[in-house]
Amino acid sequence: MAFYRLNTAELTDAVHILKPGDQVELSGVVYTARDAAHKKLFALLDEGKPLPFPLENAVIYYAGPTATPPGRVIGSCGPTTSGRMDPFTPRLMELGLLATIGKGERDEKVRQAIAKRRGLYFCALGGVGALAAQCVKSCRVVGFEELSCESVKQLEIERFPLYVGIDARGNVWGAAGCKADV
């Protein structure tokens, strides 16, 4: 396993070197979206309306940050279980999504979509949402404000610790896929 420091803007050029289990400290822009936000994204797509963020080469972090304490950029923002977004991921990958961040295993359709797109699935550390929040340098709601913690947020992250769970060739980390808690 190797270690990389990458920016989200560099991911399209770096996907070919990353392998399952590689550690990545990721910086740059990511968007949060969980179940409720994914349903609303699909409603917009079905209606032919624009999404609240550009999907091309985007990275979605499956997180619903808690309320922001005074003096902080964001509340606790640990990953949620990625499998709940599996029904949505293949279509989003087809439309340009490059990578997702979460915890837990992905199904076979997601693995195939990642390989077809030459994308990535990153595993974030579960159970350390308060520590993950320290890597968030800015946060702003860009869609579905009515969803509160599940609204879509644009995060600027710095040196966010991740592991490659599924690489651009569809290879999976470990016998059972990405571990739920690394």
pTM exceeds 0.85, yes or no = yes
pLDDT (tens digit, 9 = 90+) per residue, 109-123? 999 999 999 999 999
Using CA atoms of 72, 153, 32, 114 in order, give the dihedral in degrees to the nearest 10: -140
How far from each other are the two terminal CA atoms of the chain, in whole angstroms? Answer: 14
Check residue 69 and give left, alpha or beta (phi > 0: left; psi -120 to 50: alpha). Answer: beta
Ordered by start, the domain boundaries in the chain are 3-166
Per-residue pLDDT for 133 more than 60?
A: yes
Q: Sorting pLDDT into bands at 50, 70 and 90, what band is 177?
A: low
Fold of 3-166: fumarase (3.20.130)
**Please, which pLDDT band fits residue 181 given cuts at 50, 70 and 90?**
very low
